[in-house]
Structure 1
């Protein structure tokens, strides 16, 4: 099993959309994929599930009956019920001091693709993780069970569905939840926009990952008892995916190119820790065009952009755009698989 965290501490770069479409494409390529939503905003869960399923999952009052004139989209392979758990319910016993993790069964989206859903209540776990982090340095078992909770939840879910790839969607910050989430990941893929904010994000991301990795492997792991399954804390950088913006008159191509040209050197120095300003683009996994015009159709149809059909409103020249989107994500998925194979 290989896990990939999609992470950039700068938000708004299309991270969740990338995770959602990669999960579907990797499943098309024959892999058994588990998508994990560790972002308390739970946007990945909202992309996979419709509003009625979300209401059931999060125990909200039931919405009015679905109008007969508007048929509901096809149900999931594994339906959501009031007993379906989330990441938040899985860590609730630890947060409340009542016990260890309570691993939920993943939701089967389609054959070969599962979701471990998120919940906005996960944000309440942040304080517990912050409080217990220093105690891990001395081998405190309760603290170690808290910090390794995500790893153990993911591993149990992965074993249940026999997934060979795990994609982890992580929120855009460097807080305690993300520290525990990223420690659970074998590799890290970084979505980027070619702008000043993404470059600043890289300057923060790289040193923080190296600090977390060093602290975990050098100080914490030697004190973890064999009774607690702990992640190795590898977090190996795989590279970055550039998400192209919509070109506007107030942001010409020249400005976009200026920031784009700086990404390889900043990624090399900040994330990889390699000295020097010169760097090539070998860590650029792909550049994805902006498919903003397809997003509303995909949202209404509750399917990936590259699956849109004429019945979904993708008419005429839009179908050419859909086919291009499929090719782009297929190429990206294959490049990602090549990099994962190289890391092994």
Structure 2
């Protein structure tokens, strides 16, 4: 089982849309996929479920363990350990642990736990390992080959706990100065989190508690939403696209960059801006590459659907191949 987290400190680069479509493509290719919505804004849940379904999950006072926050609620209240997480079956082979705006309340618990773990506090380790253990519990129900974690923007305590639970980290990047500066900040922070967790992990007082190793291995980056002309980004983006390998290699990998993005094995893909396809997909409640003429995808739209499918087929294959390649390497 591969656990892959998606993180961009800036936000607004299309990360949630990327995770949603990648999950469906992996299922199309025969893999079982589990989604975790670890963003308190719950955008992935909103893409997967109707408003009526979300309202039922969030507002039913009789429900327990219906969202990711319900699963960690006893840790927030300091009344116990995790509840067994609820999963929503979206289609054969694809399931979701739904998000919850209440997850913001877990941030303070996790921030405090990070400090108290240095002193061997048992409750702190239960909190810091919560997302890792939720994956294990949900996997017993769904048996996934791949787990995709949609991590909220920023580098707060929720993001840290999410990345502790991940084997690999993928960074979606917009070709602009903000994403590149954010990439540098992410790289510095990941090194610190990984090193600091190693120190804390050895201080757990409970040898039976399932703690994450927290490898946080970089898997690569994806260039997002570049407007394309003849399969190449237009000139307005060329400067920033050209700089991405340099920043990624020097900040994240701490080595020398390749000559160009197209020669960089850490570039997992360059994703187009699919423009008018997304509204059609939202109306049809399906991924863009599943659109049919009956959904309004006719003429040029249908050509874009086919290009979209090709792009996500390449991307999913690239991600899995890279994960297989890096699985045996030290962090």
For residues 91 and 172 of structure 2, what CA distance do their matches in structure 1 show?
A: 26
1:285 is aligned to 2:268: yes
TM-score, normalization: structure 2?
0.93
For residues 240 and 186 of structure 1, what CA distance do their matches in structure 2 show?
A: 15
Aligned residue for 1:118, secondary structure, equals coil
What is aligned with 1:307? Answer: 290
Aligned CA distance change for structure 1 residues 312 and 82 (closer, same or farther; 3 Å): farther
1:47 is aligned to 2:27: no
For residues 196 and 255 of structure 2, what CA distance do their matches in structure 1 show?
A: 20
1:273 is aligned to 2:254: yes
Aligned residue for 1:261, secondary structure, equals helix
What is aligned with 1:4? Answer: 4
What is aligned with 1:244? Answer: 225
Per-residue CA deviations over 1:142-161 (Å, capped at 9, x if unaligned) read: 11001111111111101221
Per-residue CA deviations over 1:304-327 (Å, capped at 9, x if unaligned) read: 000011111112221111011011
For residues 181 and 120 of structure 1, what CA distance do their matches in structure 2 show?
A: 16
1:138 CA displacement = 2.4
Choose from 297, 303, 313 the match for 2:280: 297
Choose from 72, 76, 85 the match for 2:66: 85
Contact 1:269 1:277 in 2 (8 A): no
The 5-angstrom pairing of residues 183-332 of structure 1 reads 183-217=164-198, 219-224=199-204, 225-246=206-227, 253-274=234-255, 281-332=264-315
What is aligned with 1:29? Answer: 29
1:56 CA displacement = 1.0
Contact 2:13 2:225 in 1 (8 A): no
What is aligned with 1:132? Answer: 113
TM-score, normalization: structure 1?
0.89
* Structure 1 stretches lacking a partner, 5+ long: 62-80
**Aligned residue-pair number:** 320
For residues 332 and 25 of structure 1, what CA distance do their matches in structure 2 show?
A: 9
1:84 CA displacement = 6.1
* Structure 2 stretches lacking a partner, 5+ long: none
For residues 321 and 258 of structure 2, what CA distance do their matches in structure 1 show?
A: 27
For residues 253 and 36 of structure 2, what CA distance do their matches in structure 1 show?
A: 25
